[in-house]
Amino acid sequence: MPWRCSEDLKHFQTMTGIGTFLMVGRVTAENLPPLKDRNLLVVGSNELSLEQAMKMQPDWLIGGKKLYESALHLCTELHISIINDYTEGDVMCPDLRGFKGEIFVYEFEPNVKKVA
């Protein structure tokens, strides 16, 4: 991510909780900082398959784009953070039209510090 938003990170920590299982794609997992007291179920080449990870009953799916596209139909809720920062990224959110679950949106104002 090209930004750092402490308010969003605190929100993520509160939402996911200690001891939870987070399903994440391989590429995203390689770029994550250590997530203290959380268990990662990494889906991708030479890791778990989506089916294997689902059998482990993950609490949260935290990305990336390919995993969202392949597992969105398994989700009952979406929790979307919007960081009011206009940095251009290189990945777009998957198409969420047709999602049948509940969507929660959280907006965070920039107490954001850009990361080089």
pLDDT digits (tens, 9 = 90+) for 48-107: 999 999 999 999 999 999 999 999 999 999 999 998 888 788 888 888 888 999 999 999
pLDDT recorded at residue 91: 84
The CATH number given to 3-114 is 3.40.430.10
pTM value is: 0.85
Mind listing the pLDDT tens digit for each residue in 38-50? 999 999 988 999 9
Q: Does 19 have pLDDT greater than 60?
A: yes
Q: Cβ-count burial of 103 within 10 angstroms (0-12 exposed, 13-18 middle, 19+ buried)? A: exposed
Helix (H) or strand (E) holding 109: none
CA distance readout (Å), 114 to 4, 9, 53, 86, 100: 6, 14, 33, 11, 35
